[in-house]
Amino acid sequence: MRNGDEFKTTLERLNTYISTYIDNVTEEEQKALQGLLRVTSYHKGDLIFKQGEIPNIVCFLITGAVRFFYVTENGKDHTTNFGFENEPVVPYGSFVEQVPSGISIIALEPVELAWSSREDFNSFMAKHPRFQAGIAKLLGEYLFKGGQQLNLLRIGSSRERYEKLRTMQPEVINRVPLTHIASYLDMALETLSRVRAGKL
């Protein structure tokens, strides 16, 4: 559990992030955000959201890294994205529509999340309607960027995909196990190892 000063620092970071989408966040709005949020820690390997369940919290990643993935009926694991500090972490479509999530989200490192229940989040948005457009823009940009990156990383040769990843998401190269990088790039682990070794 974070102490008061750490939680205050977390809120300041979140306020700075939100301020890029919403102008002039007032002291009253900051206090409302403080009342809205909780902070929870996860160990490496902990499941944050589970495929098939309806998500009832919305999260913001304070520290650590997470992996988005789904498992097919035959048990094959497919990585769809990664998340790092200062990013939303939620199966957003499932959260909004309250339908079962098509993905799971798991901690790749020790993780701290600022989160709110769906009920509290909706109540906050109703009381502070000017946040609606900003939050929608934030999440829309995040989802669009993720989809665009995934599409680009599935095009071209194995080496081209790896080089695009190094340029677009260097944190993935530095912080994510090769097994998950190979899955994300839709290539075999052996192929990724050969690319990294300069043999492809």
DSSP codes, 107-120: ESS-EEEEEEEHHH
How many other C-beta atoms can be found within 10 angstroms of the C-beta atom of residue 123? 14
Which bin fits 24, alpha (ψ -120 to 50), beta or left (φ > 0)? left
Which CATH code of 3.40.50.720, 3.40.190.10, 3.40.1360.10, 2.60.120.10 fits the domain covering 4-146?
A: 2.60.120.10
d(CA 152, CA 185): 10
Q: Would you say residue 84 has pLDDT above 50?
A: yes
Mean pLDDT within 115-135: 88
Model pLDDT, residue 181: 96
d(CA 200, CA 137): 40
Q: Would you say residue 109 has pLDDT above 60?
A: yes
Q: Would you say residue 186 has pLDDT above 60?
A: yes
Model pLDDT, residue 5: 65
d(CA 184, CA 191): 13
- Residue, of 86 and 175, whose pLDDT is higher: 175
Q: Would you say residue 14 has pLDDT above 80?
A: no
Cα 76 to Cα 101, 132, 157, 170, 184, distances in angstroms: 17, 38, 23, 26, 13
Question: What is the per-residue pLDDT across 15-42, written as a single tens digit (0 to 9) for each?
Answer: 777 777 888 888 888 888 888 888 899 9
Instruction: Quote the percentage of the chain above a pLDDT of 90.
Output: 50
Q: Would you say residue 190 has pLDDT above 70?
A: yes
Give residue limits of the domains in the chain.
4-146, 153-200
Question: What is the per-residue pLDDT across 154-168, written as a single tens digit (0 to 9) for each?
Answer: 888 999 999 999 998
Model pLDDT, residue 1: 44
Mean pLDDT within 74-89: 91
Mean pLDDT within 187-200: 91
How many other C-beta atoms can be found within 10 angstroms of the C-beta atom of residue 177? 11
